[in-house]
Amino acid sequence: MLYVVATPIGNLGDMSQRAVDVLKEVDLIAAEDTRVTMKLLNHFDIRTPLTSLHAFNEETKGAALVRRMVEEGISVALVTDAGTPAVSDPGSLLIAEAIKQGIPVSPVPGASAAIAAVSVCGFTNKEFTFIGFLERSKKAQKERLEALRGQAQTVVLYESPFRALETLENISEVYPNIQVVACRDLTKKFEEYVRGTPDSVHMQLQNNPNHTKGEYVLVLDLSKEKEIEQESDNDNLSLEAQLIDRMVKEEETLREAMDALVKQGGNRNMLYQAQLTLKRIFE
C-alpha cells in the first residue's frame, strides 16, 4: 500500500490524527527532505524509517520503492516538506508507477496551501484553476497569463518570496485592473493577506520590510476581466464615442444610449451636449 499523506503547511496543529497514525504504522516514509520531515516525526514521536524522494531522484528512486512494495510487500507513506504531495511537489511519478504495478494508493487528506488561499480570497467564483509555479522568465510568464484570458475565473499561483514582486509586475502588465489576493506565510508567524489590483498589492508588499519572509500563494480574479477592460476602455473614450459605442453594440437610439450612460453614473448635462454634437454631425 502507498499512502499519500498531507502534512501541515506551517502550523503543526493542523496535522491530523489519521496522518500521525499512518506514519507510525507504515514500514517506510518517503520524504522530500528527510531533515525537514525528521522535525515533524520527532514532534509526534514517530520512529518509522525515512528515505529521500525528491525531484532529482524520483524517477529512479520511485521505481526502486515500487519494486520493494511488490517484492517485499512493504507499505510506504509519501510526504513532502509541507502540504499535499504531488501538488506542485514531488510524488506524481511514484504514484503513477505504483498504480501501474497494481499497488493500492490511498490519500490521507490534509493541508493544501492552494485550497487554504482559495477559501479566504473572498472571490465568489465557482471555479478555480490551479497553476502552481509559473515559468521563470518574464516572457514565458506573460504568455502563460495571457493564455488564461477568457479561460479561467479564479487562478491560483505559487511563488517564492524573492520573486513575488516581479511576478506581480508581470501580472499587472497583462491584467492591470483585476483583483489579486497575495497570501503570505499561510498559518505561520508572518501570515498576511494583501488585497487589491496587482500594482496596489505590489506597492503594499514593497513597503513591508517582512515581505520576503514566507512563501506566497497569489489568487487572481479573472471572472470580470472583460467587464473591467471594457470600463477602462470606456473611460478613455470621449462621451461622443461612448454614445456611438452603445448605439452600435446595444442597437440603441441616441437617446437610449444617453439614458443608459446616465444610469451608469455619467453626467447628464455633459452627455446631453455630446448628444447635440452627434446630432449636428449626423444631420
| Same fold: 2-111 with 116-224 | no
CA–centroid distance for 77 within its chain: 26
Q: How far apart are CA 30 and CA 85, in angstroms?
A: 11
The CATH classification number of 2-111 equals 3.40.1010.10
Cell 449626423 belongs to residue? 282
One digit per residue, the tens of pLDDT, for the chain of length 283 reads 999 999 999 999 999 999 999 999 999 999 999 999 999 999 999 999 999 999 999 999 999 999 999 999 999 999 999 999 999 999 999 999 999 999 999 999 999 999 999 999 999 999 999 999 999 999 999 999 999 998 889 999 999 999 999 999 999 999 998 999 999 999 999 999 999 999 999 999 999 999 999 999 999 999 977 555 555 545 557 888 888 888 888 888 988 888 888 777 677 778 888 888 888 877 6
Residues 113/21, Cβ–Cβ less than 8 Å: no
DSSP secondary structure string, 272-283? HHHHHHHHHHH-
Domain boundaries along the sequence of the chain: 2-111, 116-224, 237-282
Q: Where are the beta strands (DSSP E) in 63-178?
A: 76-79, 105-108, 128-133, 154-159
3-state secondary structure of 223: coil
d(C-alpha 273, C-alpha 263), whole Å:
17
* 143 touches 137 (CB < 8 A): no
Query: pTM for the whole thing?
Result: 0.78
Task: Give me the CATH topology for the region 116-224.
Answer: 3.30.950
